[in-house]
């Protein structure tokens, strides 16, 4: 019985790891392709449908959240610093993308992009801290 539980835990942990890696890779790919498309319109979208990759990002993200277990995934102190750096970098990239989309409307583009950076960082840090308390 105990060996069966260990086997199920191992399988669940392996599936979580695979799905989490798919999520990371597809999200990074989506951001990179989106940035390329922003600067050279039609370079990617003429040959590739972004909705396909976005669907993969959403499904793998939801699946990794559903399979996540605090007992199975250990967090280290160095891991927290890496998370915060990643949150800040991704938030800045998102703010820059928002700015490029809104740059034609003037000074409001600066305000909206700055606020999006601040809100993304704040919400992400709150979510990370909430995970640690559970």
CA distance 43 to 33: 9
Task: Categorize the per-residue pLDDT at 51 as very low, low, confident or very high, splitting at 50, 70 and 90.
Answer: confident
CA distance 58 to 32: 16
Task: Categorize the per-residue pLDDT at 132 as very low, low, confident or very high, splitting at 50, 70 and 90.
Answer: low
3-state DSSP of the chain: CHHHHHHHHHHHHHHHHHHHHHHHHHHHHHHHHHHHHHHCCCCCCCCCCHHHHHHHHHHHHHHHHHHCCCCCCCCCHHHHHHHHHHHHHHHHHHHHHHHHHHHHHCHHHHHHHHHHHHHHHHHHHHHHHHHHHC
| Segment 4-37, tens digit of pLDDT | 777 777 888 888 888 888 988 898 888 888 888 8
Query: What average pLDDT does this structure show over 91-113?
Result: 87
pTM over 0.85: no
Domain boundaries, the chain: 1-73, 74-134
Residue 49 clears pLDDT 80, i.e. is over it? yes
Task: Categorize the per-residue pLDDT at 114 as very low, low, confident or very high, splitting at 50, 70 and 90.
Answer: very high
């Amino acid at each position: 019985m105990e060996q069966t539980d260990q086997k199920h835990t191992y399988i669940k942990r392996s599936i979580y790891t695979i799905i989490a890696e798919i999520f990371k890779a597809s999200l990074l790919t989506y951001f990179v392709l989106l940035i390329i498309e922003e600067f050279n319109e039609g370079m990617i979208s003429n040959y590739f449908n972004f909705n396909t990759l976005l669907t993969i990002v959403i499904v793998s993200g939801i699946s990794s959240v559903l399979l996540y277990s605090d007992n199975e995934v250990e967090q280290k102190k160095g891991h927290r610093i890496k998370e915060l750096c990643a949150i800040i970098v991704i938030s800045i990239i998102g703010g820059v993308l928002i700015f490029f989309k809104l740059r034609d409307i003037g000074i409001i583009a600066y305000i909206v992009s700055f606020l999006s950076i601040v809100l993304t960082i704040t919400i992400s840090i709150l979510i990370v801290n909430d995970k640690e308390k559970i």
